[in-house]
Amino acid sequence: MQIMLCAICNISSGNCSEDCKYCTQSRFVKTDIIKYKQKDIEQIVLEAKMAKKNHALGFCLVSAGLGLDDTKLEYICKAAHAVKKAEPELMLIACNGLASLDQCKELVKAGVFSYNHNLETSKEFYPQICSTHSWQSRFETNLNAKEAGLMLCCGGIYGLGESEDDRISFRKSLKELEPFSSPINFFIHNENFSIKPKKLSTDEALNIIKQSKKDLPNTHIMIAGGREAVLKERQYEVFEYGASAVVIGDYLTTKGEEACKDIQELEKRGFSFVTQCH
Ligand code: SF4
């Protein structure tokens, strides 16, 4: 079986004005994460080269914050051009919060292939995990990205205390957007978070993957944050439950499985890696 690997590059970290209760980059959460406004473009290119070496097809430029403004857009386009020049085969994904149609069009011009903006959870549950922006604004950003010609990478996070009905409603909304890929994150508990939901069990997490594939049969289900923490030694079973993509390397503010260990384990199980997305 062929699977798709994606790597994340945190190009602007922390100090986010928003109060998403599951995110260590929010300025409402006390954390000791490294914060910076703009990562050097040279460093981004180095990380892109490393991602390519690790068989990644997707390379995601992620910035903290509510959304794009002119300065940020210009910086991201510059980074996108530099990565494309150094590693033309990488599929560039931008993940920069709320974006207008015109801003998405600029990203397309800079060589970005896909936009990642997660709905995170159901529209009904969303106000309980964020009060500074609306779920609807997230949904609209996805519509803008789609209209601009970007492929959608849209998913969310499970284990925030949402109900089964919320999960059904969340996947129904994802289905409306028909994303190319859908990242599934599992909430990682942190004593500094104000929410203390019940921990997801491994079986529950695997079942979420299975249900996601059932509801989104034409979408790549991508396993992202929380893979190691929640699935532990069963993490490579995700493909039996419908996943066809994983994030390799570190996540935004948490450590991931070492990329080379992941690749070894995946190859040992007979997986090969997608090198083109069409
Ligand atoms: S908008 Fe993004 S970076 Fe900011 S707190 Fe929410 S999830 Fe974190």
Query: DSSP per residue over 80-136, as a string?
Result: HHHHHHH-TTSEEEEE-SB--HHHHHHHHHTT--EEE---BS-TTTGGGT-SSS-HH
CA 3 to chain centre: 16
Q: What is the pLDDT of residue 252?
A: 60
Can you tell me the distance from the alpha carbon of 107 to that of 122, in angstroms, rounded to the nearest whole number? 27
pLDDT tens figures, 158-194: 999 999 999 999 999 999 999 999 999 999 988 889 8
CB neighbour class for 134 (10 Å; exposed up to 12, middle 13-18, buried from 19): middle
pLDDT tens figures, 73-128: 999 999 999 999 999 999 999 999 999 999 999 999 999 999 999 999 999 999 99
Q: Which residue has the tokens 């929410």?
A: 195
Q: What is the pLDDT of residue 130?
A: 96
Paired strand residues for 26: 16
Is 230's C-beta closer than 6 angstroms to any atom of ligand 1? no
Q: Which comes out higher in pLDDT, residue 83 or 278?
A: 83
Residue-range domains of the chain with CATH: 2-272 (3.20.20.70)
Can you tell me the distance from the alpha carbon of 22 to that of 19, in angstroms, rounded to the nearest whole number? 9
Q: Whose CA is nearest to atom 5 of ligand 1?
A: 26
pLDDT tens figures, 210-265: 999 999 999 999 999 888 889 988 999 999 999 999 998 766 655 556 778 888 88
Is 20's C-beta closer than 6 angstroms to any atom of ligand 1? yes
| Percent of all residues in the chain with a pLDDT value above 90, rounded to a whole number | 74
Q: What is the pLDDT of residue 232?
A: 87
Q: Whose CA is nearest to atom 6 of ligand 1?
A: 20
Amino acid (1-letter code) at residue 125:
F
Tokens of 102: 């015109």
Paired strand residues for 5: 246
| Ligand 1 geometric centre to CA of 21 (Å) | 9
134 pLDDT more than 90: yes
* Mean pLDDT taken over the chain: 92
278 pLDDT more than 80: no
Reported in sequence order, the residue ranges of 79-213 that DSSP labels E, i.e. its strands, are 91-95, 114-116, 151-153, 156-158, 181-186
| Ligand 1 geometric centre to CA of 100 (Å) | 17
In ligand 1, the atom with minimum distance to the C-alpha of 65 is 4
Is 64's C-beta closer than 6 angstroms to any atom of ligand 1? yes
Is 24's C-beta closer than 6 angstroms to any atom of ligand 1? no
Is 23's C-beta closer than 6 angstroms to any atom of ligand 1? yes
Q: What is the pLDDT of residue 33?
A: 82
pLDDT tens figures, 22-50: 998 899 988 878 888 899 999 999 999 99
Best probe residue, ligand 1, of 16, 19, 195, 254 (max atoms within 8 Å of C-beta): 16
